[in-house]
Amino acid sequence: MEIQKLIYFHILKKTYRYLVNLSLKVIGLITIIRIMKKKIAYVGMSADILHKGHINILKTASRYGEVYVGLLTDQAIASYKNIPYLDYEKRKIILENIKYVKKVVPQLTLDYVENLNLIKPDYVVHGDDWKIGIQKETRKRVINTIKKWSGKLIEPKYTEKISSTLIKKEMSNLITSPENRISRLKRLMSSKDIVKILESHNPLTGLIIEKINVKKNKKTIEFDGMWSSSLTDSATRGLPDNSSLSFSARISSLNDMMDVTSKPVVFDADNGGQIEHLPFLIRSLERSGASAIIMEDKVGLKKNSLFKNQKDTKQDKPELFAKKIKKICDLRQSKDFMVIARIESFIIGKGLTDAIKRADIYSKAGADAILIHSKEKTPAEIFSFAKEFKKSKNFIPLVCVPSTYSKVKEDDLIKHGFKLVIYANQLLRAAYPAMQETARTILKNQRAFEADKKIIPINEIINLIKND
């Protein structure tokens, strides 16, 4: 009996040792596999202006695994704020050369889920500032997604008092170079659903467009640039919109506006003048940093397109106008300087067929976009044009000026394929009656007191432009 017990004990001991050895080997094997399969730490960022906050996040992430940066594309950034200063490729090159970064992949939306499902990172690293504000929802979706493979969210403390937005604010006095400003419009048009520009007739209105923004659905909305309008430039100087204000005078005041702003400017060049004079105009515009020229296909004495009576207005022969377009394409120094051909067929009652025929010719001549103009009360005719032109193999982006059909919403324009909307005269139209009313009030009351209530206080006007 004793011997039997001893044998059992011996067998048990052997089995126990065998199992311990085996499990040690299995654990060892798992550890080796784990070590061999490097962990991945995912960081989503825009990385436009890199600062120590970014480096802190990347450094922290590198402690958890190989750092994959999901770099937000220009389109992704444009979905919730202004497009970045540097385009995607430039930002990618910078990040790829940071020692903490293993790989840079494009993140096509503000939302991480698509990339996370693809990469299945072990960690996502983000500053803890996204617990509140526009990114709150994005954060929730990250947590729910990585939960599926037991991924963890690491949230280092946000580096206070530093962010690209803050740096950009500080830099707003350091106006961008003409080259950067020229290419910005093209970048905006390829990044946003629709680019919105507003008429500016002097540096002060330029500053309003530069700075004004509203918050809607947690997004910051602002104008993308300025329209240098022949109508409001002329009216500001007490002149009719018939080209009596010379290009040199208009470019001189354009430069004043350029001196204090950074957003792209689209220049209204009437019909561009004589083809022989175009080299001088284009040179001046590019030197100023204008992003685009809009040229209308009219000849003879210029008359504003919104006048009812257009009986003396003549359209250029499409082949001759195409020559002007081609000439600008050959002349421009920057490939990003855009030539936008403006079709006046609807203005002079020529109809859809003529407009489409011209759009094809202008597009083939090298135009970057077509402005289809209308003075109707509804957008029906420009929408009919868009529908037809979309079928053409020469289709290029569309531009509109909703002055008479101002009820149209941007969403509707987007649906019909419009990429640029020009609010062509609203700031001057706002300022003029306000100034008239103030002048009348002073006359009526024989003092300025009554006008005070409706105008900006002295303290605000003297501090409007900072002297630092």
Q: Which stretch binds ligand SPV (CB under 6 A): 140-148, 226-234, 281-289, 313-321?
A: 226-234
Please state the closest distance from residue 229 (CB atom) to Mg ion, in A. Answer: 6
User: Helix or strand or coil: residue 35?
Assistant: helix
Applying CB under 5 A, does 268 fall inside the site for Mg ion?
yes
Applying CB under 6 A, does 228 fall inside the site for ligand SPV?
no
**Which one, of 410, 452, 406, lies nearest residue 429 by Cα?**
406
Q: Which residues pair with 94 in a beta bridge?
A: none
Q: Which stretch binds ligand SPV (CB under 6 A): 251-259, 300-308, 314-322, 458-466?
A: 300-308
Please state the closest distance from residue 298 (CB atom) to ligand SPV, in A. Answer: 10
Q: What share of the chain is helix, strand, coil (3-state, %, to 5)?
A: 50, 15, 35
Of 403, 416, 418, 423, the residue at the interface with ligand SPV (CB under 6 A) is 403
Q: Which stretch binds Mg ion (CB under 5 A): 183-191, 228-236, 364-372, 374-382?
A: 228-236
CA distances from 186 to 265, 318, 368 (A): 11, 25, 9
Applying CB under 5 A, does 230 fall inside the site for Mg ion?
yes
Applying CB under 6 A, does 401 fall inside the site for ligand SPV?
yes
Applying CB under 6 A, does 119 fall inside the site for ligand SPV?
no
Choose between 41 and 420: whose C-beta lies nearer to ligand SPV: 420
Q: Which residues pair with 265 in a beta bridge?
A: 226
Polymer length in residues for the chain: 468
Count of CB atoms within 10 A of residue 200's CB?
28
Cβ atoms of residues 42 and 68 within 8 Å: yes
Please state the closest distance from residue 230 (CB atom) to ligand SPV, in A. Answer: 4
401 touches, from ligand SPV, Mg ion, none (C-beta below 5 to 8 Å by class): ligand SPV
Choose between 48 and 268: whose C-beta lies nearer to Mg ion: 268
Applying CB under 6 A, does 304 fall inside the site for ligand SPV?
yes
Choose between 189 and 428: whose C-beta lies nearer to ligand SPV: 428
In angstroms, what is the C-alpha Rg of the chain? Answer: 31
User: How distant is the alpha carbon of residue 206 from its chain centre?
Assistant: 17
Whole-angstrom Cα distance, residue 345 to residue 357? 10
Nearest 5°: the CA angle 429, 432, 434 is 110
Applying CB under 6 A, does 305 fall inside the site for ligand SPV?
yes
Total binding residues toward Mg ion, as defined by CB under 5 A: 3
User: Helix or strand or coil: residue 199?
Assistant: strand
Please state the closest distance from residue 380 (CB atom) to ligand SPV, in A. Answer: 17
What is the identity of the amino acid at 186?
K
Applying CB under 6 A, does 293 fall inside the site for ligand SPV?
no
Q: Which stretch binds ligand SPV (CB under 6 A): 39-47, 121-129, 229-237, 436-444?
A: 229-237
Q: Are strands 123-125 and 152-154 parallel, antiparallel or unpaired?
A: parallel
Cβ atoms of residues 55 and 67 within 8 Å: no
305 touches, from Mg ion, ligand SPV, none (C-beta below 5 to 8 Å by class): ligand SPV
Applying CB under 6 A, does 315 fall inside the site for ligand SPV?
no
Contacts of 370 (CB under 8 A, 6+ apart): 340, 341, 342, 343, 359, 362, 363, 389, 396, 397, 398, 399
Q: Which stretch binds Mg ion (CB under 5 A): 4-12, 96-104, 163-171, 229-237?
A: 229-237
Of 328-357, binders to Mg ion (CB under 5 A) are: none
193 phi/psi in degrees, rounded to 5: -65, -45
Joined tokens for residue 436: 């008239």
Whole-angstrom Cα distance, residue 292 to residue 266? 5
Nearest 5°: the CA angle 329, 331, 336 is 55
Q: For tokens 């060892």, what's the residue?
A: 28
Please state the closest distance from residue 52 (CB atom) to ligand SPV, in A. Answer: 46
State the catalytic residue, choosing from 241, 270, 297, 336.
Answer: 241
Applying CB under 6 A, does 175 fall inside the site for ligand SPV?
no
Of 191, 229, 243, 315, the residue at the interface with ligand SPV (CB under 6 A) is 229
Choose between 231 and 328: whose C-beta lies nearer to Mg ion: 231
Q: Does 330 participate in catalysis according to the annotation?
A: no
Choose between 48 and 344: whose C-beta lies nearer to Mg ion: 344
Applying CB under 5 A, does 232 fall inside the site for Mg ion?
no
Choose between 146 and 266: whose C-beta lies nearer to ligand SPV: 266
Whole-angstrom Cα distance, residue 265 to residue 64? 46
Cβ atoms of residues 292 and 267 within 8 Å: yes
What is the identity of the amino acid at 328?
I
Of 51-110, binders to ligand SPV (CB under 6 A) are: none
**Residue 390 burial (10 A CB sphere; 0-12, 13-18, 19+):** exposed
Applying CB under 6 A, does 306 fall inside the site for ligand SPV?
yes
Choose between 199 and 210: whose C-beta lies nearer to Mg ion: 199
β strands within 229-274, DSSP E: 265-268
Applying CB under 6 A, does 200 fall inside the site for ligand SPV?
no
Choose between 263 and 342: whose C-beta lies nearer to ligand SPV: 342
The residues annotated with a catalytic role in the active site are 241
Sites of contact with ligand SPV (CB under 6 A) = 229-231, 241, 268, 304-306, 401, 403, 424-425
Sites of contact with Mg ion (CB under 5 A) = 230-231, 268
